[in-house]
Amino acid sequence: MKTRTLAAALILTLSLGTGAAQAEDKVPADILNVSYDISRELFAQINPAFQAKWRKDTGQSIEVKQSHGGSSKQARSILEGLPADVVTFNQVTDVQVLADKGFVRADWQQAYPNSASPFYSLPAFLVRKGNPKNIKSWDDLVRSDVKVVFPNPKTSGNARYTYLAAYAFALEKFGGDQVQAKDFIRRLLANVPVFDTGGRGATTTFVERETGDVLISFEAEVKGIQKEYGTDKVEVVIPPVSLLAEFPVAVVDKVAEKRGSRKIASAYLGYLYSDEAQDILAKNYNRVSNPKIAEKYKAQFPNVRLYTVELFGGWDNIRKIHFAEGGILDQVFEKK
Amino acid sequence: MIPSMAVSHHRHVQSKGWGRLVLIGLAVGLGVLLLAVPLAVIFAHAFARGWEAWWHTVSSPDTVQALWLSLFTVAVVVPINAIYGLSVAWAVTKFRWQGKKWLVSLVELPFSMSPIVAGVACLMVYGSSGLLGGVLETLDLKVMFAVPGIVIATLFVTSPFIARELIPLMRLQGTEEEEAAQVLGAGGWWTFLAVTLPNIKWALFYGLILCAARALGEFGAVSVVSGHIRGETNTLPLHIDLLYHDYDGSGAFAAASVLTLLALVTVVLKILVEGKGKPQE
């Protein structure tokens, strides 16, 4: 019985769908937002708000569907045919992959404010209750009595930010001396007892297996972990210096063109910059540039001196110099 | 573990019951440690925040959809595999022909392949830049990142289960009964329905159950081809993974408890079928 109603509904929607598509010059009733793996709760709050606003503005009911996975894997899936109208990733390089293959326009970073990144975060620390090892900044992480947990920078974008933030700190500390900075990173990596492949694995290692004294991940994430596991177990420490991590967005032109969804897709990404969406983002511990909302959540976000990837000459250079085969990461890993 | 084994071996000479006791103890102990404890933990976590929280996750539209998709996949995959398994076993055990060994090896290939490789292989065939990608695009057929892709990947991974159950039994039974039927004038279909099928029915059931259990739990291959669209192409195992990675631990365990319950159903069915099948052999 259930299946029969389901089938009937399916046929009905299909026929209605094609009819409507012809009548309205191919405007779809949904878009697909392909996103990174830990943004489910965030977009579960943003999407209904956008849908309500779109209905108010245009009278049309639409649905924003979500797909979540590691953002490199997601980019790969889009190249293989996953019909994403928009992407909201946590790695600039993964959007760039789509741009290189002509799925996203080449100047996508100019399409929206702040290099098309509606919010940002930074690598921060999670320590055990009461901060028994008194960990305050990156300097404390290379102490011989401190064990550090973060995923493998070879496989995890999250860990790449940690690596770069530590590197930026070291360059500042040693007045730009590359040799000393490299040595600093070598000591940091030597303090990591186990490299998990992804952020979630590292969290399990730290919280559930109780390995290590400090876990490094994005500020929004460590605060989320604290919420999940409780303040009686772990504490968040925000270092005075860190690196700005962008969360880039783009319309996937190739798909939007084909589906006729460009108008909704662009409006959706534009909406992420509105007061309403920025408020939701900030509520979920993401930092935003909107001055009004930033002011409202000021108490939640301590001041941090933030470097950007421009310190390293942008992602292309970072890839070549640091993370490519035989790059600086390989060199300091080998010395371990 | 090793010292206790040595001891049991030594005592074996003096008392017959001692070694048996240690072995049984080991088997039960390890079984409890490796299987029963994690199972209990799943349910403990699932209900840690009470029945209401459990029901809240389990009845959420995304979980319900994921459950339906998983059951739908099983409902499509199992019959196809049954036909495939029967024809392979029939061809291999009732006839003599060249290349039989190759076919058996080919059938068993998915067993020794990692599911992730199976998923990627599907992508290489049906994805946009894959072998058939251009054709599918012109026909506007969505295979990858849609339900058909999930079914195909699951088919690939679960295809050996039924054939593997049937081949040894049918080989053991030989072809005498079929030959007798043919001599008495039965046609091919009639021979199959009246002679072969009754002889193998319990092994077939057993294979169906194994196949269903595996299809229900398949993660790796499906993860590659699903596209992870919430409420659309997320199967139950993928949904559990999503909840878990999103720091919704209790939600993940609640969904996991549903999958576990379904698995336990297949286990019970399996026990029932095993009991039935035994006297035949």
Q: What are A306's strand-pairing partners?
A: A242
Report the distance separating Cα A140 and Cα B90, nearest Å.
Answer: 69
B247 or B255: whose pLDDT is higher? B255
- Please report, rounded to a whole number, the percentage of residues in chain A having pLDDT higher than 90: 73
Mutant choice from A64, A78, A80 vs B, greatest count of B C-beta within 10 A: A80
Q: How far is CA A276 from the centre of its chain?
A: 20
Average pLDDT over residues A25-43: 86
Average pLDDT over residues B260-276: 88
Cβ burial, residue A322 (10 Å; 0-12/13-18/19+) = buried
Our CA-based measurement puts residue B112 at a distance from the nearest CA of chain A, in whole angstroms, of 24
- The SS3 call for residue B142 is coil
Tell me which chain A residue has its CA closest to the CA of residue B130.
A80
A79 to B128: CB separation less than 8 angstroms, yes or no: yes
Average pLDDT over residues A135-162: 92
Closest CB to A228: pick one of B229, B233, B247.
B247
In this prediction, residue B277 has a pLDDT band, given cuts at 50, 70 and 90, of: low
Q: How far is CA B158 from the centre of its chain?
A: 6
Mutant choice from B67, B225, B247 vs A, greatest count of A C-beta within 10 A: B247
Structural tokens at position B93: 């055990």
What pLDDT does A289 receive?
Answer: 92
Give ∠ CA B176-B181-B183 in degrees, rounded to 5. Answer: 95
Cβ burial, residue A228 (10 Å; 0-12/13-18/19+) = middle
Average of per-residue pLDDT values in chain A: 89
In this prediction, residue A181 has a pLDDT band, given cuts at 50, 70 and 90, of: very high
Q: Which residues on chain B place their C-beta less than 8 Å from a C-beta of chain A? A: 123, 127-130, 133, 137, 142, 144-145, 227-233, 242-249
Report the distance separating Cα A159 and Cα A91, nearest Å.
Answer: 11
Q: For chain A, how are helix, strand and coil distributed in percent, rounded to 5?
A: 55, 15, 35
What pLDDT does A334 receive?
Answer: 59
Report yes or no: B256 and B38 within 8 Å, Cβ to Cβ.
Answer: no
Residues of B in contact with A71 (CB under 8 A): none
User: How many CB atoms are located within 10 Å of the residue A161 CB?
Assistant: 26
Average of per-residue pLDDT values in chain B: 88
Tell me which chain A residue has its CA closest to the CA of residue B225.
A77
Place of tokens 């959540």: A297
The yes-or-no verdict on residue A24 having pLDDT over 50 is: no
The CATH code for residues A123-243+304-334 is 3.40.190.10
B246 to A81: CB separation less than 8 angstroms, yes or no: no
The helix-helix angle for B147-158 and B61-94 (nearest 10°) equals 40
Cβ-based neighbours of B17, under 8 Å, separated by 6 or more: none
Report yes or no: B122 and B221 within 8 Å, Cβ to Cβ.
Answer: yes
pLDDT, tens digit, 9 for 90 and up, residues B90-102 = 899 988 888 888 9
In this prediction, residue A170 has a pLDDT band, given cuts at 50, 70 and 90, of: very high
What pLDDT does B12 receive?
Answer: 46
Structural tokens at position B255: 């969904």
pLDDT, tens digit, 9 for 90 and up, residues B7-26 = 444 444 455 688 889 999 99
Tell me which chain A residue has its CA closest to the CA of residue B131.
A80
Report yes or no: B268 and B245 within 8 Å, Cβ to Cβ.
Answer: no
The yes-or-no verdict on residue A198 having pLDDT over 90 is: no
Least confident of A180-194, B74-88, B237-251: B237-251
A65 to B228: CB separation less than 8 angstroms, yes or no: no
Q: How far is CA A228 from the centre of its chain?
A: 19
Residues of B in contact with A41 (CB under 8 A): 246-248
What are the residue ranges of CATH 3.40.190.10 in chain A? 28-119+246-300, 123-243+304-334
pLDDT, tens digit, 9 for 90 and up, residues B121-137 = 999 999 988 999 889 98
What pLDDT does A228 receive?
Answer: 82
Q: Which residues on chain A place their C-beta less than 8 Å from a C-beta of chain B? A: 32, 37-38, 40-41, 65-69, 74, 77, 79-83, 200, 203, 224-225, 227-228
Superfamily of domain A28-119+246-300: Periplasmic binding protein-like II (3.40.190.10)
The yes-or-no verdict on residue A7 having pLDDT over 70 is: no
- The SS3 call for residue A37 is coil
What pLDDT does B7 receive?
Answer: 45
Q: Which of A52, A121, A50, A54 is nearest to A272 (CA)?
A: A50
A68 to B249: CB separation less than 8 angstroms, yes or no: no
Cβ burial, residue B49 (10 Å; 0-12/13-18/19+) = middle
Tell me which chain B residue has its CA closest to the CA of residue A199.
B245
Amino acid letter, residue A288: V
In this prediction, residue A241 has a pLDDT band, given cuts at 50, 70 and 90, of: very high
Closest CB to B247: pick one of A32, A80, A225.
A225
Report the distance separating Cα B167 and Cα B173, nearest Å.
Answer: 10
A67 to B245: CB separation less than 8 angstroms, yes or no: no
Provide the 8-state DSSP code for A66: E
